[in-house]
Structure 1
Amino acid sequence: MGVRFKLSFVFLFYCIFHLPVNAQNKADVTVNFDKKISEMKPIWAWFGYDEPNYTYMKDGQKLLTDISKLSPVPVYVRTHNLLTSGDGTPALKWGSTNVYTEDEKGNPVYNWTIVDRIFDTYIKRGMKPLAQIGFMPEALSTKPQPYQHKWKPGTRYEEILTGWAYPPKDYTKWANLAYEWVKHCVERYGKKEVESWYWEVWNEADGAYWKGTQAEFFKLYDYAADGVKRALPAARIGGANVTGGGSRYLDAFIKHCLLDTNYATGKIGSPLDAVLFHAKGSPKVVNGTVVMNLRTELRNVEANYKVINKYPQLKNIPVIIGEFDPEGCAACGMATNPENAYRNGTMYSSYTAASFARLYQLTDQYNINLLGAVSWSFEFENQPWFAGFRDLATNGVNKPVLNVFKMFGMMSGNRVEATSNQMYPLQTVLDSSIRKPVSDIGVLAAKSQNAATVMIWNYHDEDKKGNIDQVSISLKGLDKKSVIITRYLIDDENSNSYEAWKKMGSPQSPTASQILELEKSSELKSVGKPIKFNLDQGPFQFELSRQGVTLLSIK
């Protein structure tokens, strides 16, 4: 009895002084590098935003440079307001290029200066446009006044809906605008380059952004597609970029493109080189805590995948999720929308990791040719520091979420089989999101010829921290007994400019030295030095806090 007591005391002493503080769960992860699932397609390397004029501004150019370096393939960029009338002065949820005006006789006058400046910024960095043909120029709108809105966060969203949202007064002029634009792009950038882009018509015509009927939108699409194809027959165009809940509208749009009489040509069918739709989550504040909803976003995806799979004519058609986000309004900060408080810290990072991993799973399940999922998150020029917008950087300093995309950029080759006993099954997420008491400690892994990568996140819908969980990874199927492991980490202490900013006292006018410190803290950080690890030792082990994300780079 005395020996048992001594052993129990020794074990208790060990637990108190050697186990991690607040350790709650132990995740057992197994990666089989010799079991290929599919290509590790960089579906994450697509980004978008409302305000096109931010593209060539100081912080916009810096962020685009950072984004362009993330991916082994060209990054695609989508933005609104490329045809909107105005002098190019940006504002929240607004931008303009003034490409189209008319003279006193009603003849079109084209001016490509501003839109060229936008596309030049992309092309210079090896990026490619997902070029949106919209919105309606003032001179073409059936209801041109009022035109430029004065919307601010906290005011009614409907205030943005002005003359740019209406159908054209002349569809032939609309088609010719598309024709002249594509023709100009071919002359400026070359036929081969423009053939590698994607074009799409409008945005969320099933929602607030379109003040015409469904039939009028189909007509808008037909005439725009006709103009694009006349200028460049091999150009790739698609639609309809419906809202997250717009699967029925997408169904009607696909039927029109496949079976209906084309409004522009009088023939059956309309060009459809890609199918596009949106998917959004829906966070809420519950008892003072932000609670995300990954289920809503993924079910948006699933509903549209089901529509696409109804049509055998669309087998293997390229699919682009035109906006793939935790919720709907990038320019609504946390001051007016407290449910958006997740955006500055690591919850946005872990949500992004968990959501893209499930998107890969869902895409496999429905056998969809997904090219990309656009994160509608860029930057907001000259706004308060860490204002809670859905952005990747604030005043030129990258936020923690951008480091998840840096991690994705390090993953290449093929996705391989990886399991975790603490990872929620896909169907559970589709049914009820991540709501059980335990968090989702999930895994995504890839292997190329000379390297392997493993991403692990500790995510929960409920924005609470404190738990530090243990992770044990068995690395199988590698043809070496010894590997070099570099571990990268995003948590409160690593790769996190937001926590560094708060420790400074949350300055809204940081000094030059503070900005340098913030920039340094924003970089993706490795934990310690690379480790030589013998696989015969057993699993590789470490700790990961809730809402943290880590990447193992194995060579």
Structure 2
Amino acid sequence: MEPIIIAANGKEEFTENWKYCIGTGRLGLALQKEYLDHLKIIQEKIGFKYIRGHGLLSDDVGIYREMKIGNEIKAFYNFTYIDRIFDSFLELNLRPFIEFGFMPELLASGEQTIFYWKGNVTPPNDYHKWSELIKAVVKHFIDRYGLNEVKKWPFEVWNEPNLVNFWKDADKQEYLKLYKVTATAIKEVNQDLQVGGPAICGGADEWIVDFLDFCHKEKVPVDFVSRHAYTSQSPKKVTPDYYYQDLVDNTDMLHQFEVVRGLIKESAFPDLPFHITEYNTSYSPINPVHDTPLNAAYLARILSEGGDYVDSFSYWTFSDVFEEADVPKAPFHGGFGLMALHSIPKPTFHLFAFFNRLGKEILYRDEQMIITKKENGSIALIAWNEIMEKGEGFEKELLIKLPVTSDAYFLKRQMVNENYANPWKTWKDMGRPRFPDKQSIETLREASITKLMTTKINKEEDGYLKLPITLTKNEVTLIELSEMKDETGTYDGLDDSLITSYSSL
């Protein structure tokens, strides 16, 4: 096997664009205990900077209300719930990446809704009232959190208006009107606030071109461009419980990032930040692929290389406390989340936690691995073996040679694959209980723990550490190497050979 020889120093910095933002179900879910429990775990192990979700202006959050005063109907803005929600985020070091949507029922021009929770997707019946609502919301945020803080919050206008499900008739001209009114209202409050869009899904990048051309010609404020990215094909089968799709090659997502970055560079605003405010494999919240090790192995290359093209890419979503397709009917139902119900980490959770262990200096990177050095000189690498074929086998062998200065190193390796940190498999072995008892939930949590290996590794005569790695099917592995400081000699009378079944070796 030809070894991969790694340089002692790198020339690139690994950005944290992959953890800039994380997606969430509708904001009203943040009033639930399990939601916040999941978010605390996510922040402890990964530590995202922003959080984005739907439903800021939907009726369950309850911001827009109307009251009759005398003979006049006046708007009443109720911030009781949104204050509680945003306070919870900020206490966990998460800033809102605000999506303005969906339409409050009292401002809606029609009855078309989306999702189990009925987000209204029609334009406002009165653009003046919509503008006043936007200004009131933004002013309240500034009053509560301070201008310097709110200047750091991006304001995105709507969600996937190129789809008839999310914006009535996918009317581009009506969306551009909505964007202009909304952006103007935000800037009227303060010119330094960030506003952008059009938050489209893939397959309609002409919207990006037309959006930027409109902003240029109409002199409409725009501070960033946003888009979504998924890589699933048309469904093979749809049932009440599951939505089955194949995936295209993961390089397709990187290509999407690169193409849209090119469109921005060719526009009148070539230097605008570019945010992917949603991405995942499948766009369905009931696709079982989200629960599998394949999802983690597939996305590893995206996390490794995506930041080369975009300023942020926000995984959709952090938790299966999520209700677009109704209240979840089982702990593993194909939900988007990094965390399954009952606080059970999925394989993709560990992928993100592994990436959070990387250093900033890239020593080596290819389509199956990234190797980094930390400020303290230790090495952290992630390797993966994404396999979309059915069947057993598919092991991959790697041999890495790392230049080192010390004689001995401590090696720590954590693994996720088909057999370890795969609670979905354990749940299947249990018979797929829809509502597992407490003992079964504890077993599923135990099954979600990564496999851990540790060892001492010595420098070879040629000055390298020789590191052979075997990756099983859909494995993601994290290896951390740190200089070993041997204090064995400081223990008086140490003799492991006196321990039953052990030796001093």
2:282–2:290 Cα contact (<8 Å) kept: no
RMSD over aligned CA atoms reads: 2.6
Unaligned residue ranges in structure 1 (runs of 5+)? 1-25, 86-95, 152-159, 262-268, 334-339, 364-369, 424-441
TM-score, L = length of structure 2: 0.84
Match of 2:19 in 1: 44
Shift of 1:148: 7.4
* Gaps in structure 2 of 5+ consecutive residues: 238-243, 322-326, 483-505
Distance, in Å, in 2 between the alignment partners of 1:113 and 1:411 is: 40
Deviations 1:88-109 (A, max 9, x none): xxxxxxxx31211223434211
The equivalences for 1:30-429 within 5 A come to 30-71=5-46, 74-85=48-59, 96-104=60-68, 105-143=72-110, 145=111, 150=116, 164-208=120-164, 209-211=166-168, 213-257=171-215, 259-261=216-218, 269-283=219-233, 291-293=246-248, 294-311=250-267, 313-315=269-271, 317-329=272-284, 331=285, 333=286, 340-360=287-307, 363=309, 370-381=310-321, 383=328, 384-395=330-341, 396-419=343-366, 423=367
1:551 maps onto 2:478 in alignment: yes
Which one-letter code corresponds to 1:322 in the other structure? T
**What is the deviation of 1:517?**
2.9
> 1:27·1:470 contact (CA, 8 Å) conserved in 2?
no
Q: CA deviation at 1:284?
A: 6.2
Q: Is the 8 A contact 2:22 2:318 kept in 1?
A: yes
Shift of the 312–506 alpha-carbon distance from structure 1 to 2, 3 Å rule, reads same
DSSP-derived class of the 2:196 partner: strand
Q: Distance in 2 between matches of 1:530 and 1:42?
A: 32
The Cα shift of 1:452 comes to 2.3
For residues 21-76 of structure 1, give each alpha carbon's deviation from its aligned partner in whole angstroms, at most 9, with x where no partner exists. Answer: xxxxx68544334122233324234221343222231221111112212346x521
SS in 2 for 1:303: helix
CA distance in 1, matches of 2:391, 2:254: 22
Query: Residue 454 of structure 1: which of 376, 381, 387 is its match?
Result: 381
- In the alignment, the residues of structure 1 paired with residue 79 and residue 179 of structure 2 have an alpha-carbon distance, to the nearest angstrom, of 22
Contact 1:345 1:400 in 2 (8 A): yes
What is the 5 A alignment of 1:501-540?
Answer: 501-527=427-453, 529-534=454-459, 536=463, 538-540=465-467
Shift of 1:236: 1.5
Counterpart secondary structure, 1:314? coil
Do the aligned partners of 1:379 and 1:392 also contact (CA within 8 Å) in 2?
Answer: yes
Contact 2:417–2:474 at 8 Å: present in 1 too? yes
Q: 2:50 corresponds to which letter in structure 1?
A: Y
Provide the C-alpha distance between the structure 1 equivalents of 2:236 and 2:107, rounded to a whole number of angstroms: 46
Residue aligning to 2:393: 466
Indicate conservation of the 8 Å contact 2:380/2:480, yes or no.
yes
Instruction: Name the amino acid aligned to 2:63.
Output: V
Indicate how the Cα distance of structure 1 residues 33 and 526 shifts in structure 2: closer, same or farther if over 3 A, else same. Answer: farther
The one-letter code matched in structure 2 to 1:109 is: F
Q: For the residues of structure 2 that align with 1:66 and 1:446, how far apart are their CA atoms?
A: 25
Shift, 1:479, TM fit: 4.5
AA aligned to 2:104 is P
- How many residue pairs align between the two structures? 460
State the TM-score, normalized to the length of structure 1: 0.77
Change (3 A) 1:146 1:541: closer
Distance 1:416-1:497 versus aligned 2 partners, 3 A rule: same
Residue of structure 2 aligned with 1:486, choices 404, 412, 436: 412
Flag the 1:218–1:509 CA change in 2: closer, same or farther, 3 A.
Answer: closer
Q: Which piece of structure 1 moves more, 117-126 or 205-214? A: 205-214
- Post-superposition offset of 1:352: 1.4
Distance across 2 between alignment mates of 1:195 and 1:32: 41
Does structure 1 conserve the Cα–Cα contact (< 8 Å) formed by 2:10 and 2:363? yes
- In structure 1, the partner of 2:493 is none
Change (3 A) 1:54 1:464: farther
* CA distance in 1 between partners of 2:217 and 2:153 (Å): 26
- Aligned in 2, Cα 1:385/1:272: closer, same or farther, shift over 3 Å? same
Equivalent residue of 1:32, what SS? coil
With over 3 angstroms needed to count, the CA separation of the structure-2 counterparts of 1:33 and 1:310, relative to structure 1, is farther
The alpha-carbon deviation at position 548 of structure 1 amounts to 0.5
Residue 463 of structure 1: CA displacement? 4.8
Task: Tell me by how many angstroms 1:448 deviates.
Answer: 2.1
Aligned to 1:352, what secondary structure does the other structure show? Answer: helix
| Counterpart secondary structure, 1:304 | helix
- For residues 439-450 of structure 1, the aligned pairs below 5 Å read 442-450=368-376
